[in-house]
């Protein structure tokens, strides 16, 4: 059963306030297992295989909702390609992901 995320959680609101509009972000969310980085190992594996240019990443923990949130800062011109590549590679069913950023008109 998929539970729709509460994007208005205090942690998610804090994350949104820190996003830089000059970049795009891919945000991964999963129910917390351990508070260590290996909880997103599948995502890091895909990122390393695809050799994506990542500017930075950070893991946040929303203890109220019991989820870990991985925020990955990426080039705004690559967001659609990155999402497509992740879908093609296969993301585990227990991970939900979002894309945030300004839409670049070409």
- Nearest-angstrom CA–CA distance, 56 and 25: 10
What is the assigned CATH class of domain 23-101? alpha beta
Instruction: Encode pLDDT of 31-88 as tens digits.
Output: 876 555 577 888 887 777 776 667 889 999 888 888 899 998 887 777 777 777 777 8
pLDDT at 1: 37
- Nearest-angstrom CA–CA distance, 33 and 31: 7
| Confidence (pTM) | 0.78
């Amino acid at each position: 059963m998929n539970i729709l995320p509460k994007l208005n959680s205090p942690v998610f609101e804090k994350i949104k306030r820190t996003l830089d509009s000059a970049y795009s972000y891919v945000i991964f969310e999963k129910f917390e297992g351990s508070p260590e980085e290996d909880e997103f190992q599948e995502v890091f594996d895909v990122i390393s295989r695809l050799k994506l240019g990542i500017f930075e990443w950070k893991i946040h923990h929303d203890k109220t909702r019991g989820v870990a949130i991985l925020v990955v800062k990426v080039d705004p011109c690559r967001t659609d390609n990155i999402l497509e590549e992740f879908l093609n590679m296969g993301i585990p069913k227990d991970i939900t992901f979002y894309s945030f950023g300004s839409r670049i008109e070409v």
